[in-house]
Amino acid sequence: MSTFRTSYLQVTPLALVILAFLLFPILTIVIVSFWDFNAYQLLPDFIWGNYEFLLTSEVTLKAYLTTFFYAASTWLITFVLGFTIAYFLSFHVRTPLMQGILFVLCTIPFLTSNIIRMISWIPLLGRNGLINSGLQGLGLTSEPVEWLLYSDFSVILAFVHLYTLFMVIPIFNSMMRIDRNLVEASIDAGATTWQTIRHVILPLCKSGIAIGSIFVVTLVMGDFITVRLMSGGLSASVGVLIYNEISMLQYPAAAAGAVVLLITVLLLLSILFRFINIRQEL
């Protein structure tokens, strides 16, 4: 009996933290999402108008399609880059010291804030930036390339810059746990490098890929700063819509948008969990 009570006492602090800082705020957002509002105040009520407007608005549909496009594009690029970098660090860098040095180099961008890293692209991609100046100086273009900045390209580029490391770390951890004898056996059996990657390394990295995908997708789905800054206000994601509603003090509408976004992300994660059992893999 004492062991039973001790276990409950040990788990109580964590349970209280989760209740206070996770469940209670989410419950509050859900409650507020059913309230009414006007230009001056919130009106406690129980109405479906916020969700009805949200789910029937063409603006919301376009914002979700844009957000899905950003999430899918960023996931694909970060997966290719993350897998390649992790594979190089795991199988081509022989000494642990050099692995550590190269891994630290990958984390250097995180020494600065996200805003600074995004702003750093503007002098490179702008009309009079270094890339356009170089292209015109080499005679490859006669005028500045407009789509480099304030476009979907610049938004996805910033996302990749910000979140690639979130894909590298879990895949690298998965690869480091792979038994090297399996790789040698595959090579001895006559498999090419690509066949070994496809049939041996890739399946054994499923847990790392899944965890990295969770990080990247959830971060992109909820982001609004990157979209606002790198698109120049020309694109709207779900996060931008929620931010705009908060700016106009339309808290119930913003709460409804947050609830729908949360449900959407949870559905995406549930689909991902159907392909892999993370608990078993870990």
**Residue 154: other Cβ atoms inside 10 A:** 24
| Helix/strand/coil for 115 | helix
Whether 12 is covered by a domain: the verdict is no
Q: Could you tell me if residue 144 is inside a domain?
A: yes
- In degrees and rounded to multiples of 5, residue 36 shows phi and psi of -100, 170
User: In this structure, is residue 122 part of a structural domain?
Assistant: yes
Are the beta carbons of 55 and 260 closer than 8 angstroms? Answer: yes
What pLDDT shows up at residue 99? Answer: 82
Distance CA 171, CA 178 (A): 11
Banded pLDDT at 24 (limits 50, 70, 90): very high
Question: What pLDDT does 128 receive?
Answer: 83
Helix (H/G/I), strand (E/B), else coil: 93: coil
- In angstroms, the CA 43 to CA 16 distance is 30
pLDDT in tens, 25-63: 999 999 999 998 887 788 888 899 899 988 898 989 999
Q: Determine, yes or no, domain membership for 166.
A: yes
Beta strand spans in 25-145 (E) = 36-37, 42-43
23 vs 187: CA distance, rounded Å: 50
Chain position carrying tokens 């897998």: 83
Give the pLDDT of residue 167: 93
Number of domains making up the chain: 1
Lowest pLDDT segment from 2-16, 94-108, 140-154, 204-218: 2-16
Domain of residue 276, CATH code: 1.10.3720.10
DSSP 184-213: HHHHHTT--HHHHIIIIIHHHTHHHHHHHH
Please tell me which residue, 78 or 141, carries the higher pLDDT value.
78
Mean pLDDT of the chain: 87
Confirm whether 51 is domain-assigned: no
pLDDT tens-place string over residues 140-160: 888 888 888 888 999 999 999
In this structure, is residue 40 part of a structural domain?
no
pLDDT at residue 282 in the model: 53
Residue 270 has pLDDT above 70, yes or no: yes
Q: At 65, is the pLDDT very low, low, confident or very high (cuts 50, 70, 90)?
A: very high
Residue-wise pLDDT tens digits, 118-128: 888 888 888 88
Q: What residue numbers bound the domain in which 178 lies?
A: 58-281
- Check residue 277 and give its pLDDT: 63
Task: Tell me whether residue 23 is in a domain.
Answer: no
Predicted pLDDT at 10? 79
pLDDT at 257 over 70: yes
Mean pLDDT of 245-257: 90
Q: Give the H/E segment covering residue 66.
A: helix 58-91
Inter-helix orientation angle 206-222/238-247, to 10°:
30
Residue 116: predicted pLDDT: 84
